[in-house]
Amino acid sequence: MPPLEMLRRKADFDAIGRHGTVRSSRLLVLRSMRTSGSRTRIGLSTPRSLGGAVQRNRVRRRLRDLLREQLNAMEGGLDLLLIARSDAGTATYSELREALRSLLERSGIGG
């Protein structure tokens, strides 16, 4: 599977919040923004409402894996911020996959 280029700087997260578009579902919120770069960069946010560190890390691992599956279908030059909602902590892998696929499709990114 291809490696994900992750967003790490607060300024990048803030830029998506200010200039990006938002789509949401019961499990996830997707903020996306076109950039001048050629690569797609990913940011993940797993709030404490998901549960303890073990639960948040499990959701992060699942989301990274699902994003790797979708990476080839996505166009380049995007910054994506995926925010897990509290229901994502108890969702199955297939429910998360469907929520992500739906958000990417509705955003016109892929899926």
Q: What is the Cα–Cα distance from 62 to 74, expressed in whole angstroms? A: 18
Q: Which domains does the chain have, with CATH numbers?
A: 5-105 (3.30.230.10)
DSSP 90: T
Q: What is the Cα–Cα distance from 12 to 92, expressed in whole angstroms? A: 30
Pairing of strands 41-45, 78-84: parallel
Alpha carbon 103 to chain centroid distance? 9
Record the pTM.
Answer: 0.90
Tens digits of pLDDT across the chain (111 residues): 567 899 999 999 999 989 999 999 999 999 999 998 888 999 999 999 999 999 999 999 999 999 999 888 887 889 999 999 999 999 999 999 999 999 999 998 875
Residue 41: predicted pLDDT? 93
